[in-house]
Amino acid sequence: MKIVVCIKRVPDTEARIRIASGGREIDPAGIKFVISPYDEFALETALRLKEAQGSGEVVAVTVGESTSGEQLRSALAMGADAAVLLKGKTSFDGLATAHALAAEMREQNADLVLLGMKAVDYDQQQVGPMLAELLDRPCITIAASVAVEGATVVCHREIEGGVEVVEAPLPAVVTITKGDFEPRYPSLKGIMAAKKKPLAEKDAHAAPSRIEVRELLAPPDRPPGRVVGEGVDAVPELVRLLREEAKVL
């Protein structure tokens, strides 16, 4: 079975976000970039599926600038067999990204395409279902676990107020949330092996962004915190403030 995992290079979740002069982009200086956390779960899911089957191939694909090669190398070090860098600028427009990925998927012909449920930079939560539509494939979103039974993919998915077990015929597209496991760290052996694995580079199928960023702003400041008091004795005062001052009760 062949599985393609779409991964994105994003700022580390602890990074302090500063707006670059010009006010439309973030200042990348001093920021550590990582594979978006849900994409790591997607990659881990793919590697586990391959291990469970005892055979298969896992390919990591990204759309990004040449710096995104670092994240592909990490994916190879974690255990992906091959990687593809689709060179192009990423934007808020998930549909443009989905078009670039769809062009590559038509060549890859994978049984299963895994994505993160959302990339933690623009938080759009849209590329997975868009890609599925463009490829005319069934799509299961927000899967916490994925199993393959013959030509069927079976997932546990998070739904509002519960969990649902769903299935779809392969080939399919699945977006991944955090499951009952942690993504593995690359081993030293994995890092060495990654250097010999194929990392292809090609130009992304150009789809222009139709989302124009007018301005990027720092979040509104919150007033500095205030401590109402200590222990049980402060409870009546807290409730009074919530009722009379904040007017939320």
Ligand X SMILES: Nc1ncnc2c1ncn2[C@@H]1O[C@H](COP(=O)(O)O)[C@@H](O)[C@H]1O
Ligand Y SMILES: Cc1cc2nc3c(=O)[nH]c(=O)nc-3n(C[C@H](O)[C@H](O)[C@H](O)COP(=O)(O)OP(=O)(O)OC[C@H]3O[C@@H](n4cnc5c(N)ncnc54)[C@H](O)[C@@H]3O)c2cc1C
Counting beta carbons within 10 angstroms of the beta carbon of residue 157, is it exposed (0 to 12), middle (13 to 18) or buried (19 or more)? buried
C-alpha separations of 68 from 9, 27, 52, 91 in Å: 6, 17, 29, 14
Q: Does 149 bind another protein (CB under 8 A)?
A: no
Distance CA 166, CA 156 (A): 6
The binding track of 65-104 with respect to another protein, each residue x by CB under 8 A or -, is ---------------------------xxxxx-x------
Sorted by sequence, the CB contacts under 8 Å of residue 25 that are 6+ apart come out as 19, 213, 216
Q: Is the peptide bond before 129 cis (omega within 30 degrees of 0)?
A: no
By C-beta, is 49 or 115 nearer to ligand X? 115
Binders of another protein in range 154-173 (CB under 8 A): 154, 158-169
End-to-end CA distance of the chain: 55
249 binds, among ligand X, ligand Y, another protein, none (CB under 5 to 8 A by kind): another protein
By C-beta, is 74 or 126 nearer to ligand X? 126
Distance CA 148, CA 29 (A): 42
Size of the site for another protein (CB under 8 A): 84
225 binds, among ligand X, ligand Y, another protein, none (CB under 5 to 8 A by kind): another protein
Q: Does 213 bind another protein (CB under 8 A)?
A: yes
> What residue ranges bind ligand Y (CB under 6 A)?
13, 37
| Contacting positions for ligand X (CB under 6 A) | 6-8, 36, 38-39, 62-64, 90, 94, 97, 115-116, 118-119, 122, 124-128
